Structure 1
Amino acid sequence: MVTLADVARHAGVSPSTVSYVLSGKRSISEATRRRVQHAVEELGYHPNAGARALAGRRSHIIALVVPLRTDVYVPIMMEIAVSVTMAARQHGYDVLLITNDEGPDGVRRVAASGLADGVILMDVELDDERIPVLREQGIHASMIGLPADSTGLSCVDHDFAAAGAQCADHLADLGHRDVAFIGYAPAVYHRHAGYAERTLTGFRERALERGLRFLHRPCEGTYESTAGTLARILADRPDTTGFVVQNENAIGPLLQLLPTSGRTVPEDASVVALCPEQLAEQYAPGLTAVTGPAQELGRVAVDQVMRRIAAAERGTDPEDELVLLAPVLTPRQSSGPLLTPVPPARRR
């Protein structure tokens, strides 16, 4: 199927110029207009998106690309998806769900078919393969996540670097000097998921500033994998007294396993998690947690897409937007001042 990008390459212009020629919503030189029209006729370019642009109509649909992975925390993803749906309805839009297993081809299919006026991507990787397609096709889009290069994009995300730094500061302020960061499964880091890598970077940089000795250990999140991760941490650093957990599935197992290693929470070991507020409140002792507003992510992403659509209709270039939502650390009973210089297991 011939795409708008094919026409642009054939005519030697940008995809946005082709879009402006088809819509007639921006003044284009006669020579450029003739080149584009010749390319359209020669390639047989007749997608639905082009027909809608010529008619000046919208589909009033936003495509939301949701992750289908075993290593993502599904409740948060669903909360964001619901938020996107509710925010879209306030603009008179419906939401079309697309799974991320389609990758760049799924985004390209939506653009070519004209099914949606805009796209929202979730689970954004640092070098996300879908982003070049968005730029190539000139799709109105927002990222719920922050890629390595956000040029020409609208993005919204939690400030994961700041969240990681808050965890390091909290443990350092309580007197802990040996700490461990229990992260997501290795596959999450291998695919360079932005939320995982930015949190770890923020934690690592602040830990170094505060003079903390730290370990990072990926973890699958099952009881067995968490037990193995904790055993390796204590074998490598027996004096570890502070634990930061980003993998939500590992929180419960860790709180169960620490007492069996001779460490009472929070007297001998402090635990800080990066997780939703409702999850933190489920545990006993109450879980010290860094949280962020998941629903706000969906609302901001929809607003960003709508502004880009409106700018195109006015014939103006959309403004790039980067919104980072500030994290909040809420101290509870799972963290406290370091009362003993060495864990009980070492003293014995």
Structure 2
Amino acid sequence: MATMRDVAEHAGVSIATVSFVVNGTKHVTDGTRERVETAMRDLGFRRNPVGAALAKGRTSIIALLFPTLERTLSHTAVEFFTSAARRARERGYDLILWPIGSDVEHIDVLARGGLVDGVILMEVKLADPRVSALATNNVPFAMIGRTADPSGLPYVDIDMATSAREAYEHLAALGHRNIAYIYSEGVKYDHGADARARSAYREVAAAHGDPATLIPCLEHPTAGRELGARFAADHPDATAVILLNEHAAPGFLTGLAHAGVRVPEDLSVLSLGSSDYMAAMTDPPMSYMRTPGPELGRLGADAILQRLTEPEDPPLQELLPCEYVPGATMAAPRA
């Protein structure tokens, strides 16, 4: 196996110069770097990423913490991850998905190991113990989502309150006055996005003088199908539904169809916080409020990279609402 000494002799440079190229610890002219890298390829020399990280004092790795032990990874969530990874790569960093729970024990292990330079949190709760654990361990972090009081913290988030109100207004403009709201059962109320959307739904329904009907549903197509099958019997006065449960959405429309409920003639359905991928899975194609996943993924990467490269700057804080995308599941209420 070739060594740094072998590469140095082959390239006609010092061992220190080879070390600078391998570890990126000091500037080397383009010509010298090319000679060293050519020698490395000729000799089959392999970089040691651990050694390089030790030499630089950083790993150039960012961890995206997603609690897959508690939440199923949806296509919309994947959009966050892939766009954040792409932006990190543009800035010379690698992004890894760290699928753990929300307990702080994993945070302590992550911090002590020095495996990553920074962390992006997803599925943030209003009172999230991971935030204080990261701060206590001096691990730079940013959030996709936000706590109840994110003052002074870097975050990017969906403006779920605005998005829920706009979803309601789209249905109200068609004449609907009994609009039910289906949310993800099993998601604790302190989950930031869910809590803000539910609260906004109650407020806008009250402002219109309409009833507020909140219906839980597990995050699974089978649960959606079962709910759809009994929906008309359980909620005969509802003429429209706002659905914040991407995993249950296709099953819900299937259950409605099997029960003889026509969409949108008998019931209008608007998916809140979803993607074109999910909308295309339903028949008819779903009307939905598009989650700005790609945009927030990029901004989330920018937020943590700012913490790493410009820690004295004010933290990046950004809210983006969902965007209404018309489909074929909304119409005026039945007579």
Specify the TM-score bucket, using the shorter chain as the normaliser: 0.7 to 0.9
The 5 Å alignment of 1:279-294 reads: 279-294=278-293
- 1:147 alignment partner in structure 2: 147
- Work out whether 1:321 is the aligned partner of 2:299: no
How far did residue 271 of structure 1 move? 0.6
Residue 19 of structure 1 aligns with which residue? none
Q: Which residue in 2 is equivalent to 1:238?
A: 236
Distance 1:215 1:102, change over 3 A: closer
Counterpart contact for 2:269–2:286, Cα < 8 Å: yes
1:65 and 2:65 correspond: yes
Which position in structure 1 is the counterpart of 2:267?
269
Query: 1:104 aligns to what?
Result: 104
Rounded Cα–Cα distance in structure 2 between residues aligned with 1:93 and 1:338? 51
- Measured after TM superposition, the shift of residue 288 of structure 1 is 0.9
User: How far is the alpha carbon of 1:108 from its aligned partner?
Assistant: 2.2
Q: Give distance in 1, aligned partners of 2:166 and 2:130.
A: 31
SS at match of 1:249: coil
Partners of 2:163 and 2:99 in 1: how far apart? Answer: 28
- Listed as ranges, the matches of 1:68-217 within 5 Å are 68-69=68-69, 71-101=71-101, 103-185=103-185, 187-190=186-189, 192-217=190-215
CA deviation after TM superposition for structure 1 residue 262, in Å: 4.4
Q: Deviations over 1:97-154 (max 9, x none)?
A: 3222273122222222322221111111111110111222232111011111212310
Q: 1:302, CA displacement in angstroms? A: 1.1
Which of 250, 254, 268 in structure 1 is aligned with 2:248? 250
User: Structure 1 residues 261 and 189, CA, compared in 2 at 3 Å: closer, same or farther?
Assistant: same
Task: Assess if the C-alpha contact under 8 Å between 1:242 and 1:271 holds in 2.
Answer: yes
TM-score, structure 2 as length reference: 0.77
Aligned-pair distance for 1:183? 0.9
Note the residue ranges of structure 1 that are not aligned, 5 or more in a row: 1-51, 341-348
Q: Partners of 1:281 and 1:131 in 2: how far apart?
A: 36
> Which residue pairs with 1:299 in the alignment?
298
- Provide closer, same or farther for how the CA distance between residues 310 and 71 of structure 1 changes in structure 2, counting only shifts above 3 A: closer
Q: State the TM-score, normalized to the length of structure 1.
A: 0.74
Inter-partner Cα distance in structure 1 for 2:71 and 2:111: 28
Counterpart of 2:93 in structure 1: which amino acid?
Answer: Y
Deviations 1:239-296 (A, max 9, x none): 1111111111222222223244443211221111121122113322221100122122
Change (3 A) 1:202 1:72: farther
Cα drift, residue 222 of structure 1: 4.2
Does structure 2 retain, via aligned residues, the 8 Å contact 1:66–1:77? no
Give yes or no for the alignment of 1:339 onto 2:334: yes
- Is residue 172–residue 212 contact of structure 1 (8 Å, CA) maintained in 2? no
- Pairwise CA distance, 1:96: 3.6
CA RMSD of aligned residues (A): 2.4
Contact 1:71/1:184 (CA < 8 Å) preserved in 2? no
Length, aligned pairs only: 282
Identity %: 32
Alignment-mate amino acid for residue 323 of structure 1: E
**Which segments of 5 or more consecutive residues in structure 2 lack a partner in the other structure?**
1-52
Greater shift, 226-235 or 67-76, is seen at: 226-235
